[in-house]
Structure 1
Amino acid sequence: MIPQEPAGVVVGVDLGGTKTAAALVGPGGDAGPVRAVPTPALDGPDAVLDAVAALVTDVVRAAGAPLRAVGVGAAGVIDAGRGTVVSATRTFAGWPGTDVAGGLRRRLAPLAGAGGPVVTVENDVDAHAAGEVWRGAAAGAGSALLVAVGTGVGGSVVLDGRPLRGAHHVAGEMGHMPVPGAEGLRCACGRTGHLEAIGAGPAIHRRYRGLGGDAASPDARDVVARAVAGDDLAVRVVRAAGEAVGRAVAGVMTVLDPEVVVVGGGVAAAGDLWWSALVGALRAEVVDVLGDVPVLPAALGADAAVVGAARGAWRASAAVPPLVPSVPTAPGAAP
């Protein structure tokens, strides 16, 4: 059993386009067993929120305690202050404009005490980053850049323990940066030349087949497997994808000067060919003073967004320690 405070349990939720996962998360970041259900993303917002509420209900009832708070890491551009969806891809039907926080608060009210549960909502990659800074590869870092490379390419910047949101809720979003090598390649956003058009998993598969690769290849995993087996075209495509991500990361590092870079997502599991291409391109691009910044694989795996989303709920529902201790101001220095 995950330790909780007497006021109730906190649940972290990772709401993705394919599946939704949830677990109890204690005040120290320890997660209980993760439960998952398919996300009815094409059935509309009400169906999605009903599924999330049912999953959270199952987790809470198994704990035998009232619900204190729920933290949700959701796909799409999220206004974390309001708990609403600003924009999203066609993966989620009717998702833009959805009041995720309000909808879940109403649905989960019977599980909580007077006033209902606290519900926080943030972008799923921001939640992933918060989890890695709290309990993962970037634990203890004052600043971190997290890059998630999978179906798309996402990014998040964490400063002093909090994800940087930005004026339009897209801070750290790297997938739509123009990068060398992607010229003429169409991105999912409709434009050409963006990182996601060359670095994401579907882009790897699409480019391999477009350059004359085996038409029977079903997906990016197959392309990576072919690269490992020595298929020259697959090697070239996988390496180009890693290099493109490395160049983009180098650009963001140069602007933000993070203490650590963490890379996760399904494509990040592609192996040494992809990783060596990413790190090699990154090290070749950054100025010398940034040459030793650690570039680490994500440590929490699929649980990262659940843990990070719960951290937001804990922060909103109780006075909890910051992710990174404050640095004392030197005598005589400006505060």
Structure 2
Amino acid sequence: MTQVLAIDLGGTQLRAAVHAGDIAALRDITREAAPASFAEFTSRLAALRAEAGGVAGIGLAVPGLIEGTTCRWIPNLPYLDGVDIAALLPDVQIGLGNDAQISLLAESTAGAAQGVSDAILLAIGTGIGSAVLANGQIVAGSRGGACSFGWACADMDDPGEERSGWLERMAAGRALDGIAARTGKASAADLIASARDGDRAAIAALQMPAQSLGTALAGAVALLDPEIVLIAGGISAALDVLAPQILAAMRRQLPAHLRGIEIRPGTFGPRAGLVGAAIAGAAGENWRRLG
């Protein structure tokens, strides 16, 4: 097949790779800070296309609401709001999607959800994205925004916020970095490493975000009855530390017949968005039909 440029654009980081037919052999070309402006975004797109060589398609995962090939609302990258990627790049095939749905495409096509008909995926990075596989199909919703799970709330007194949901503010990467700073750690990664080493203070500090995830997840599991819950994004590497607390909080809020639900890391971990973008770029605008 012809080459595809795969781009996983997060709130703080951009990854890109070239897909030439073998998902297991993506050729990474960059991992860098996310563009800070639309001009920088278009400049980096042009440079990445040049570096990749001739590409027939571009797959792009972004952290927000997508309709077709148009970015409708990207909270952490507002310069993309309203941008039609296909109009911006009319000479190539475009596979554009919400980062969590794109990650689930990777997992359902070639990863941990392969052969599974019903699953929930949480992509936890700067924010929290989510996606649902129902009866073998990735759910889009009426406007492409189904499963915006970072906006789940388990606090009746929370006043809400315009650009981030309760669960994101409690348990996403920025929240974990804030918790780490308050406990004298340099980053969330350092906090998790300390918990892994048995540091009681670090384990205690992670209790609130883990309980928030588990409590909110219980509602989704009760509603959808999935076979598995997958965790993608950077936090997937910390499941050995976080999963027991998440599961305990989730099972407290579930009926007996649903308490056997498993939480697993996705096969592709932090690379799920990149792998999914490669698959979506090869498929084009109708990539959800592959789910």
Q: What interval of TM-score do these two structures reach, taking the shorter chain for normalisation?
A: 0.7 to 0.9
Cα 1:100–1:232 change in 2 (3 A) is: same
Aligned partners of 1:40 and 1:51 also within 8 Å = no
- Per-residue CA distance 1:52-86 (angstroms, 9 max, x = gap): 23213322x2xxxx53322211232222x1x1111
Distance in 2 between residues matched to 1:147 and 1:136, nearest whole Å: 15
- Who is 1:295 aligned against? 263
- Who is 1:329 aligned against? none
Distance in 2 between residues matched to 1:295 and 1:24, nearest whole Å: 29
How far 1:37 moved relative to its partner? 4.6
Unaligned runs of 5+ in 2: none
- Per-residue CA distance 1:121-160 (angstroms, 9 max, x = gap): 1111111111011111111112221012222221111235
> Alignment length, in residue pairs?
290
Cα 1:39–1:50 change in 2 (3 A) is: farther
Distance in 1 between residues matched to 2:218 and 2:186, nearest whole Å: 31
- Per-residue CA distance 1:10-65 (angstroms, 9 max, x = gap): 33221223223122152x744422211535521x2232133123213322x2xxxx
Distance in 1 between residues matched to 2:34 and 2:264, nearest whole Å: 34
Cα 1:101–1:19 change in 2 (3 A) is: same
Code of the residue aligned with 2:39 in structure 1: it is D
Cα 1:143–1:47 change in 2 (3 A) is: same
Distance in 1 between residues matched to 2:101 and 2:259, nearest whole Å: 25
Deviates more, 1:11-20 or 1:122-131: 11-20
Mapped pair 1:15 → 2:1: no
Aligned partners of 1:128 and 1:305 also within 8 Å = yes
Cα 1:30–1:187 change in 2 (3 A) is: same
Cα 1:40–1:205 change in 2 (3 A) is: closer
Bigger radius of gyration, 1 or 2? 1
Q: Secondary structure at the match of 1:202?
A: helix
Q: TM-score by structure 2 length? A: 0.86
- Who is 1:199 aligned against? 171
- Who is 1:174 aligned against? 149
Mapped pair 1:243 → 2:215: no
Code of the residue aligned with 2:8 in structure 1: it is D
Unaligned runs of 5+ in 1: 106-115, 325-335
Q: Secondary structure at the match of 1:189?
A: coil
- Who is 1:189 aligned against? 163
Q: Secondary structure at the match of 1:67?
A: coil
- Who is 2:105 aligned against? 130
Distance in 2 between residues matched to 1:208 and 1:303, nearest whole Å: 24
Percentage of identical aligned residues:
26
Cα 1:323–1:29 change in 2 (3 A) is: farther
RMSD of equivalent CA atoms = 2.9
Q: Secondary structure at the match of 2:103?
A: helix
Aligned partners of 1:136 and 1:298 also within 8 Å = yes
Code of the residue aligned with 1:140 in structure 2: it is G
Cα 1:35–1:301 change in 2 (3 A) is: farther
